[in-house]
Structure 1
Amino acid sequence: MSEATAQPGAAASAALTILIVDDHSIFRSGLRADLDAGLQVLGEAASVDEAITLVVALQPRVVLLDVHLPGGLGGGGAEVIRVAAPRAPHTLFLALSVSDAADDVVSVIRAGARGYITKSASGAEVSDAARRVDDGDAVFSPKLAGFVLDAFGAVAGETADTIDELDRLSARETEVMRLIARGYSYKEVAGSLFISIKTVETHVSAVLRKLQLSNRHELTAWALARKLL
C-alpha cells in the first residue's frame, strides 16, 4: 500500500482530494502526474483491500477506481464501493477502466459509482470528470453514454414497481434501508450516517411499515430481489 500523502479529506485543504486505485503502478504514476494541479492526491491503492483501508482512513472526496482489482472477495471496484461507501459517506466514486463491457459498467454503477470513463481519457479529461462528479453530475465517456442509457432503459419496465416503492421512502430512509439490507448493525449504520441508534431504529420501523415488511430479513430479501444491493 502506498503511503498517504496528506491527512484525511475532511481535514485537507480546499483542493479536491483524490485517491487513485489501480493495480498497475505505471498507470497510477502517469495519472497522478497528468491530473490538474488543483486536485490533491491523498494516496494510491493497488488492491480491493488496500483501497477499502485508504478510503476509510483518508475520506477522499473522489476515488478514481479501476473496475478489475485483485484481493477482497473478487468483486473488484464494485466491492470497494459496497464495503467502503457506508464508512465514507462523503466520498464519491468514479470508475476509470480500460473495459467498456456491459457487465463491468452495470455492476459498478449499481454498486454506487457516479460515473464511468475509459483510460483513453486524458489527464485533463479525468480531472474535469472528477470535478463534475464532485458537483453532482453523472459522468460517462461519450462512447459509453448511449450504452448506459440503453442498459438501464432496457429494464425500466421491470423496475417501475421498485421505483414506486422507493418513492415512498425519504432520502435518509433509503440510505438506512440499503445499509440494513446489507447486514450492517444499527450501531454501524448510526456511525456511518452520523446519527443516533435511536434514529436508526425509527427509520427502520418507517421503512418496514412503508414497504409492508415484517423484519430486516424480509428487507434483505426484498432488496436482493430488486438488485438494490
Structure 2
Amino acid sequence: MADPQPITVVLVDDHQMFRAGVRAELCRAAEAAGTPVEIVGEAEDTERAVEVVTATRPRVVLLDVHLPGGGGVEVLARTASALPETRFLALSVSDAAEDVIAVIRAGARGYVTKSISGTGLAEAVCRVAGGDAFFSPRLAGFVLDAFSGGGAAARDEELDRLTPREREVLRYIARGYAYKEVARELVISVKTVETHVSSVLRKLQLSNRRELTRWASDRRLA
C-alpha cells in the first residue's frame, strides 16, 4: 500500500525558535498518526507570508494572528480568495474574542492557541486540510456568538477602531499590568505604552484606566 501524500504546510510566525519547535513537534506527531506533514515554507512577517503562501500554494497555512506588517487578517485578505484549495488555521498565543472573530471572518478555517500539544496540532491540521473547521474548545463559543449576531459580534465596530498593537496594550492594562510591565512584555518603551493607552482612551471615548479596564472586562478581553 502506497504511503499517504503528506499535507503541505507553511508556518507563519515572527519567532524563529517557535517555528522550529512547531515544525519538529508537528512533523513528529503527524508521522505517528499516519498523516505525514511536509513544511514547504516559513515566514516571519506579513509581506513574506504573502510571498511564500502564494508561491508554494500549501494545503494548510499555520498563521499567527499578530505579525509585523499587518497581521494574520492582512495575510488572509491578500491570499485566501486567490487560493481556494489552501486552508488557513490560526495558531496564536491570543485567546481574545476579537482576534478569533477577526480571522474567521477573514477566511480562516480554525483557531488554536499555542498551548496546544503536538498531537492536538497534528489533528487540527489534518481536520482543516480535509475541509473541516477546528477550534480550541473554549474558543468555539466566540465563533457561535459572532455568527449568530450576538455577543462579541455586536461590538466589532468599537474594536475595529483599535490597531492590533493597541489591542495588545489594552489587554495587558485590563489585566492590571503597570506601564513598565507592558513595555517589558511587548519590548517597547514606556512612552510608547502611554501613547497607545491615550489613543485607546480617545478612540473608545473613555476617561481613565478604570473605565478602560471595565470596558475590556465586559467584553472578556482581560
Structure 1 partner of 2:9 = 18
- How far off is 1:61 after superposition? 0.3
Letter in 2 for 1:24: H
C-alpha distance after superposition, 1:41-91 (max 9, x if no partner): 1011000001000011000000000000002xx2x1011011012332211
Structure 2 partner of 1:66 = 64
Structure 1 partner of 2:119 = 124
Q: Distance in 2 between matches of 1:116 and 1:125?
A: 12
Structure 1 partner of 2:41 = 43
Task: Provide the secondary structure at the position in 2 that maps to 1:146.
Answer: helix
Segments of 5+ residues of structure 2 without an aligned counterpart are 155-222
- How far off is 1:154 after superposition? 3.1
Q: 2:24 aligns with which of 33, 58, 65?
A: 33
Structure 2 partner of 1:142 = 137
Q: 1:77 aligns with which of 72, 93, 97?
A: 72
C-alpha distance after superposition, 1:86-114 (max 9, x if no partner): 33221110000010111111110000000
Letter in 1 for 2:43: A
Instruction: Tell me, yes or no, if structure 1 residue 56 matches structure 2 residue 54.
Output: yes
Segments of 5+ residues of structure 1 without an aligned counterpart are 1-12, 160-229
Q: Distance in 1 between matches of 2:82 and 2:145?
A: 32
Query: Residue 127 of structure 2 contacts residue 134 of structure 2 at CA under 8 Å; is this kept in 1?
Result: yes
Pairing of 1:150-189 with structure 2 (within 5 A) = 150-155=145-150
Q: 1:94 aligns with which of 81, 89, 93?
A: 89
Query: Residue 127 of structure 2 contacts residue 133 of structure 2 at CA under 8 Å; is this kept in 1?
Result: yes
Counting aligned pairs with the same residue, the percent is 57
Task: Provide the secondary structure at the position in 1 that maps to 2:48.
Answer: helix
- How far off is 1:39 after superposition? 0.6
Letter in 2 for 1:49: E
Please identify, of 108-117 and 140-149, the stretch whose mean Cα deviation from structure 2 is larger.
140-149
Task: Provide the secondary structure at the position in 2 that maps to 1:14.
Answer: coil
- TM-score by structure 2 length? 0.61
Q: Distance in 2 between matches of 1:107 and 1:44?
A: 23
Task: Provide the secondary structure at the position in 2 that maps to 1:95.
Answer: strand
Structure 2 partner of 1:196 = none
Q: Distance in 1 between matches of 2:62 and 2:19?
A: 10
- Give aligned pairs, total: 143
C-alpha distance after superposition, 1:3-40 (max 9, x if no partner): xxxxxxxxxx8210000000011110000000123111
CA RMSD of aligned residues (A): 1.9
Structure 2 partner of 1:206 = none
- TM-score by structure 1 length? 0.59
Query: Residue 8 of structure 2 contacts residue 59 of structure 2 at CA under 8 Å; is this kept in 1?
Result: yes
Structure 1 partner of 2:104 = 109
- How far off is 1:155 after superposition? 4.2
